């Protein structure tokens, strides 16, 4: 048995909600999909005629929006109307790490989940399936259920209530930059829930484009924990390969060759073992912190320490890169221009959340460098916001003596050649395709000598860089 779903809404028009619902709308043309957000500017950007101005850059997304927008895909700030008409509601709001109070620095801040659940409780009519899609701590479904039940209880005091809810967990596994492909051809779909009718209703929707054998149904808590565990495992692979990258640099081994050799073992597999300046993105750190919080709460201190080390290596890798740049440039960056290529946390996205570029560039600014930044998709407002926040933490944490000392500066450029002009070093931090084909001869002519190239993604043509007269350092190699 399943319910007939005619109207879906998704609360949260961000990196998860927007692309997920664009694919839902495309695959389910007979269902009306409303993507809701309190942020009116974001909704206006989703409704912008100019598809270049969508709030999120994701390959293939603008085509889907163009095809389905205002047919069965709508973006709106009207929560009341759209929630009241929905048979199924996805919760896809932000769940960052708490910055103050109980669990600060580890637990997720659930204020946005709570506020949108309250909106659902207030405006929903009849029976509504409420689905957690954002990454959330284990047991969040309980919080959602409690809130929804308490609203019904209160309303029942005054009149007969004709509303009911069932709660499912359906975590999203898309990776930014590849979101549309991940959504159209997922490795698996995970649905957690106790109410079989609701589970089936969601499963039937996915079966329009996902083979049944790829749809895994579990209890609520397994589903919630699997999302955290999957991200923790992926992050752990990156910390593992990054730890090996440091050993390569001191032994003469090459990280590319080691990755190739270990990845050929089918038990290990060749995906997710590229060394990098550290993992970023909104999920990995947050989810591991969640796991750590859960472990500590349950007195599983050894397990908690194990996962903490994945984060420790990630922080260390970022520091290692900035320290090495300073060392190679004679121990000081004072009045030196450092060109930074890439600020997004990975290629093919304009997202900067937790990007390793933030900490690395901030370290260079603390060393008084003049940093020139170029990223093909990230807006300068995002870069300014991330660096201002980061350096504010630095200023707050330092003693008076250091507070007085002047920091370096940064500027964002739209032309890559402006970054090369008079630069003492170029640091590649994101693996954008266009950085793979840079004309290093031209760059070398524009730079100030002795000039360095630091490639933290191992993407450039080493021979060409060296032949152009530039000094080269590649992460995970001893050149
Ligand atoms: C991740 C998960 O992959 C996805 O399943 C989940 O839904 C959300 O979190 P995302 O953060 O968007 O997705 O991107 P991902 O491709 O996983 O990359 C995360 C970070 O790891 C990036 O900074 C990337 O550069 C880094 N990374 C990835 C590496 O350093 N090496 C690799 O081999 C792969
Ligand atoms: P994610 O990467 O998980 O999609 P984002 O931060 O990109 O996270 O998007 C989350 C969106 O959820 C934001 O646009 C935010 O404005 C929206 N949001 C947060 N709380 C609410 C709420 N109570 N009602 C509607 N939208 C909300």
Q: Is residue 239 part of a domain?
A: no
Residues 198, 259, single domain; the answer is no
83 domain residue, yes or no: yes
pLDDT digits (tens, 9 = 90+) for 342-362: 999 999 999 999 999 999 999
Question: Which CATH number does the domain housing residue 91 bear?
Answer: 3.40.50.720
Do residue 195 and residue 331 come from a single domain? no
Residue ending a domain, choose from 193, 218, 243: 218
Identify whether residues 69 and 214 lie together within a single domain: yes
Query: β-pairing, 73-76 with 409-412?
Result: unpaired
Let me know if residue 227 belongs to a domain. no
Residue 195 and residue 272 in one domain: no
**Of residues 10, 283, 295, 412, which has the active-site annotation?**
283
383 and 259 belong to one structural domain: yes
Q: Is the CB of 89 under 6 A from ligand 1?
A: no
- Residue where a domain terminates, one of 175, 203, 218: 218
Is ligand 1 within 6 A of the CB of residue 307?
no
* Residue 241 domain flag: no
- Nearest 5°: the CA angle 12, 17, 22 is 130
| 411 and 274 inside one domain | yes
Please tell me if the CB atom of residue 432 comes closer than 6 angstroms to any atom of ligand 1: no
Give me the domain span that covers residue 367. Answer: 253-474
Mean of the per-residue pLDDT values for the chain?
Answer: 95
Same domain, yes or no: 198 and 103: yes
Alpha-helical regions (H) of 283-350: 284-297, 301-328
pTM for this predicted structure = 0.95
- The phi and psi torsions of 73 (rounded to 5 degrees) equal -120, 120
**Domain assignment present for 402:** yes
Distance 12 CA to ligand 1 centre (A): 21
Tell me: do 190 and 137 sit in the same domain.
Answer: yes
Residues 180 and 261 in one domain: no
Residue where a domain stops, chosen among 175, 198, 218: 218
Is the domain of 313 the same as that of 360? Answer: yes
Ligand 1 pocket residue status of 226, Cβ below 6 Å? no
Q: For ligand 1, is residue 346 a contact (CB within 6 Å)? A: yes
Query: Is residue 152 domain-shared with residue 265, that is, in the same domain?
Result: no
Per-residue pLDDT reduced to its tens digit, 287-346? 999 999 999 999 999 999 999 999 999 999 999 999 999 999 999 999 999 999 999 999
Ligand 2 atom having least distance to the Cα of 93: 12
What is the position in ligand 1's atom list of the atom closest to the CA of 356? 23
Q: Convert the pLDDT of each residue in 15-70 to its tens digit.
A: 999 999 999 999 999 999 999 999 999 999 999 999 999 999 999 999 999 999 99
Distance 62 CA to ligand 2 centre (A): 20
Q: Does residue 163 form part of some domain? A: yes
237 assigned to some structural domain? no
Q: Do both 306 and 194 map to the same domain?
A: no
Contact 258, 229 (CB under 8 A): no
110-159: per-residue pLDDT in tens?
A: 999 999 999 999 999 999 999 999 888 888 999 999 999 999 988 888 88
Q: Known catalytic residue: 248? A: no
Residue 245 resides in a domain: no
Q: Which residue has the tokens 């693996």?
A: 431
Q: What residues does ligand 2 touch, defined as CB less than 6 Å away?
A: 11-17, 36-39, 42, 92-94, 112, 115-116, 134, 282
Number of domains comprising the chain: 2
Residue 279 CA, ligand 1 centroid: distance in Å? 7
């Amino acid at each position: 048995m399943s319910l007939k779903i005619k109207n879906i809404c998704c609360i949260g028009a961000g990196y998860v909600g927007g692309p997920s619902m664009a694919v839902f709308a495309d695959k389910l043309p007979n269902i009306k999909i409303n993507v809701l957000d309190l942020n009116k500017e974001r909704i206006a950007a989703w409704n912008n005629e100019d598809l270049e101005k969508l709030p999120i850059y994701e390959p293939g997304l603008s085509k889907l929006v163009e095809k389905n927008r205002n047919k069965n895909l709508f973006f709106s700030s009207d929560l009341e109307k759209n929630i009241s008409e929905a048979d199924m509601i996805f919760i896809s709001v932000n769940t960052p790490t708490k910055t103050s109070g109980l669990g600060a620095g580890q637990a997720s801040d659930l204020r946005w989940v709570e506020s949108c659940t309250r909106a659902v409780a207030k405006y929903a009519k009849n029976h509504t399936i409420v689905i957690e899609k954002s990454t959330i701590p284990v047991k969040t479904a309980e919080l959602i259920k409690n809130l929804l039940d308490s609203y019904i209880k209160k309303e029942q005091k005054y009149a007969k209530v004709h509303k009911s809810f069932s709660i499912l967990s359906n975590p999203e596994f898309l990776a930014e930059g590849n979101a549309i492909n991940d959504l159209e051809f997922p490795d698996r779909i995970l649905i957690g829930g106790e109410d079989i009718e609701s589970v089936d209703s969601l499963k039937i929707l996915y079966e329009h484009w996902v083979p049944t054998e790829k749809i895994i149904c579990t209890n609520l808590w397994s589903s919630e924990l699997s999302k955290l565990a999957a991200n923790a495992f992926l992050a752990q692979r990156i910390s593992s390969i990054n730890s090996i990258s440091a050993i390569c640099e001191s032994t003469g081994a090459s990280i590319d060759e080691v990755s190739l050799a270990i990845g050929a073992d089918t038990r290990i597999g060749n995906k997710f073992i590229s060394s990098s300046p550290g993992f970023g993105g909104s999920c990995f750190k947050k989810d591991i912190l969640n796991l750590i919080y859960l472990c500590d709460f349950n007195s599983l201190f050894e397990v908690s320490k194990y996962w903490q080390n994945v984060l420790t290596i990630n922080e260390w890798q970022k520091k290692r890169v900035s320290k090495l740049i300073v060392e190679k440039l004679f121990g000081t960056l004072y009045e030196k221009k450092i060109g930074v290529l890439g600020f997004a946390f990975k290629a093919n996205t304009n997202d900067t959340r937790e990007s390793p570029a933030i900490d690395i560039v901030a370290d260079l600014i603390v060393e008084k460098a003049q940093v020139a930044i170029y990223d093909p998709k990230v807006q300068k407002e995002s870069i300014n916001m991330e660096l201002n926040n980061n350096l504010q933490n630095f200023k707050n944490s330092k003693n008076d003596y250091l507070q007085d000392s002047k920091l370096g500066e940064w500027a964002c450029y739209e032309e890559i050649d402006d970054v090369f002009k008079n630069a003492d070093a170029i640091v590649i931090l994101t693996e954008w395709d266009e950085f793979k084909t840079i004309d290093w001869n031209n760059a070398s002519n524009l730079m100030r000598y002795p000039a360095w190239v630091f490639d933290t993604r191992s993407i450039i043509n080493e021979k060409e860089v060296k032949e152009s007269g530039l000094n080269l350092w590649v992460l995970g190699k001893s050149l």
